[in-house]
Amino acid sequence: MKHFIGIDVGTTGAKALLIDEKGSLIARSTYEYPLHTPRPGWAEQDPEDWWNATVQAIREVVQKSGVKPGDIAGLGLSGQMHGSVFLDAKNQVIRPAILWCDQRTADQCAWITERAGQETVVGETCNPVLTGFTAPKIVWLRQNEPDAYSRVRKVLLPKDYIRFRLTGEFATEVSDASGTSLLNIRERRWSKKMLAALEMPEEWLPQVFESPVPSARISKEAGSLTGLAEGAPVVGGGGDQAAGAVGNGIVTSGVISVTAGTSGVVFASLDSPAMDEPLRTHTFCHAVPGKWHVMGVMLSAGGSLRWYRDAIASEEVTLAKRRGVDPYELITAQAATVEPGCEGLIFLPYLTGERTPYPDPDARGVFFGLNLRSGRAHMARAILEGVAYGLRDSLEIIKGMGVDIKQVRASGGGARSDLWRQIQADVFNTELVTIAVDEGPAFGVALLAAVGAGVYDSVEAACQQTITLKDRTQPVPANVATYEHFYGIYRSLYPALKPLFADLGRAVR
């Protein structure tokens, strides 16, 4: 039987999983690595950390599974989007990668928009230029680290750097390339107009493939490090959101996903490119050939809960280690002791700025409504509710675009928590459905590898034959009414605080 590996180079760690040709999970492994914030609003990682974690994760799933290397018929790659890896003429990394959640490039976004013209930017890329995207990072390097910029010969996205290390080839695919501000979204190729505006040579960029198409093969050196067979094909893969959508079966119109991972995403598949008129959402190429998607993105969903774990919940972390459980179990159990609405405590989850519906790098996290009764349980629940409010912002925009919504599927860490799933159902006032195997982007790109190997005729067929529904969470009418009231207050807070966020941003830059 053929087997396939999916690799996800995430923000917190690299995950590898191995499935058989029927989509059954055989083995998984994850290795974490640090995120560095050398200045407020900055976020960087060392690509070597990604590589070391990926090698360890692949080696472990091969060993765990007992599958012979020759029976692994393909690999798929996914990863955090937008990050920039700069390579020199010897293919060495020049500086730490600047990540998707980094907010240093507001001035460069404005420069690109003025230089290319708003009509060209939107006409070519279907999106505004945002601080998280890749092109502004390239311009930032030119303007702030000219010595490093003078050495650049290749610019790669995170997963595509791992592809290079695995295969020796430079390649990417349409879904991840969509988030660079350098791809013509409608034509699914690099935009000559945008490259000309940036005075950037196209040879700096890798070749663009469709997501299920084989793009390179495992090298002898990588095979010896990972336990993979030399020559195993690696398909294009997908950016983490498009790949996660494949893994969740969001490949046809009418079914949308709500994902609470490090970031939070509401995602809908489109048969043709469509845009929110005020450009609050993203319109990208899907990992399904000939399809597109629209998504709203909040930058700190599960990332907000992780911040709470690391910065505030040290007692729960210590107790979890003693009991041998995940600290998030204790945190959410504590949050469940507080009533819906959190006695008026509201959290704005803008810890790393925001994208949808507010493309504002200066936005910051806020607890609003603290009082003497507020404790850690209240803060934990306020974070869960605040993230759900933020996700609803995107859901409302997508509804307003006229996108047909027949079913909402929940995925990510927010779907694995009964409490958080119920909060989302109540805040959205809609049924949430989960699937039997929720392994996110890694599962999605493993399916893409199976399509590339000819096991399935199409991505849609792969999803239809491997993905089954599991649980349904219904909204509770009393909770819906409570959250409707507090969501209105939540919506009023950002407009009131926006000028203060800008003042604060100027003060710390």
Active-site positions read 240
Helix or strand or coil: residue 83? coil
Report the alpha-carbon distance of residue 324 to residue 317 in Å, rounded.
10
Neighbours of 405 (CB within 10 A): 14
Report the alpha-carbon distance of residue 40 to residue 42 in Å, rounded.
6
Would you call the peptide bond into 357 cis, given omega within 30 degrees of 0 as the criterion?
Answer: yes
Cite the beta strand spans of 139-276 per DSSP E.
Answer: 154-156, 171-173, 183-184, 189-190, 207-209, 214-217, 233-235, 238-239, 254-260, 264-270
The token pair at 123 is 């006409």
Report the alpha-carbon distance of residue 140 to residue 109 in Å, rounded.
9
The DSSP letter of residue 312 is: T
Rounded to 10 deg, the angle between the 47-65 and 158-167 helix axes is: 60
Rounded to 10 deg, the angle between the 240-247 and 459-466 helix axes is: 50
User: 296: burial class by Cβ within 10 Å (0-12, 13-18, 19+)?
Assistant: buried
Q: What is the largest CA-CA distance in the chain?
A: 63
Of 330, 242, 238, the C-alpha closest to 282 is 242
The token pair at 156 is 């790669």
In degrees and rounded to multiples of 5, residue 253 shows phi and psi of -70, 150
